[in-house]
Amino acid sequence: MPELPEVETVRRGLERRLKGRVLSDVEVRRPDLRFPLPERLAERLKGRRIDDLRRRAKYLLFDLDDGMTLIGHLGMSGRMNIHDARPNSVAPHEHVVFVADDGTTVTFQDHRRFGYFDLIETGALDTHRYFINLGPEPLGEDFDGAELTRRLTAKKTPIKAALLDQHVVAGLGNIYVCEALFRAGISPKRSAYSVAGARAERLVPHIKDVLNDAIAAGGSTLRDYVQASGELGYFQHDFRAYGREGAPCRKTGCTGIVKRIVQSGRSTFYCSTCQR
């Protein structure tokens, strides 16, 4: 599943082409994806101007000029493909087509159909079921060591599981949690409450750095992910822990080997020598 850096990369690509543009046409080719699509979605979007294009956690938010927001989620394999003009043919698994007034066309392609869209009033976002219980944005100014400490203090789960909990912090996924814990020298098996305090203060900057580095690299391409421009991300070439089972630790002076364990059904990669 695309994680925060991948979704942010897609958002930036869409923003460059769609912000301020009017949707001259919208085509919905099926009534549902992961969930049923909003009724009369194409009709309700046609003629609307996209005033802003934001991200919350792993969601794309298209703010429209009528006070509504289109919520988009890429699911496991969804892609937002940008074309300079409307394609003459229909590609496989293209379910929704957005055409702007300058001809720019964005197609939502999803062969697994785990992605979804919703359309709600912009002012109701914070209380919507997708967002009401989300934790802070990890790249936001209000996410710091004190805030993470507050959210970890009573948690007895491993820190890896706690950071994947969207109620603790929004948008983090398996890859970037592994990478941030490695950079911070914190074992993924350590109890979350024991990270509160000094370790949380050390961890937060590494979370932000990993995410920013990944965004700058266009995200990580492992299976289905591509940027909205069609380019692949390349942060996977800079992984220091994720996917490196059996390889030497990349931390200077460490002689350990990267190990793989399974936590909550997900692979965790770490160095037991320098991550304590």
Does residue 269 surpass a pLDDT of 80? yes
CATH 1.10.8.50 fits 145-271, yes or no: yes
Q: Are 67 and 121 in contact (CB under 8 A)?
A: yes
Query: Is the CB of residue 206 less than 8 Å from the CB of residue 166?
Result: no
Query: Out of 19, 34, 260, 266, which one is annotated catalytic?
Result: 266
Please say if the pLDDT value at position 182 is more than 70: yes
| pLDDT for residue 3 | 85
Catalytic entry in 17, 58, 79, 199: 58
pLDDT of residue 41: 98
3-state secondary structure of 134: coil
Residue 87 annotated in active site? no
Note the pLDDT of residue 230: 52
Residue located via tokens 């919703």: 118
Residue-wise pLDDT for 81-125, tens only, equals 999 999 998 889 999 999 999 999 999 999 999 999 999 999 999
Tens digit of pLDDT for each residue in 191-242? 999 999 999 999 999 999 999 998 888 765 444 444 455 554 445 557 899 9
Kind plus residue range of the DSSP H or E element containing 179? helix 174-184
Residue 38 designated active-site: no
Q: Where in the chain is the domain with CATH 1.10.8.50?
A: 145-271
Alpha-carbon torsion angle 148, 154, 158, 163, nearest 10: -30
Answer yes or no: are the C-beta atoms of 99 and 24 closer than 8 Å. yes
What does the pLDDT read at residue 34?
Answer: 95
**All CATH 3.20.190.10 domain ranges in the chain, comma separated:** 4-127
Q: The domain 4-127 is classified under which CATH number: 3.20.20.140, 2.130.10.10, 1.20.1600.10, 3.20.190.10?
A: 3.20.190.10
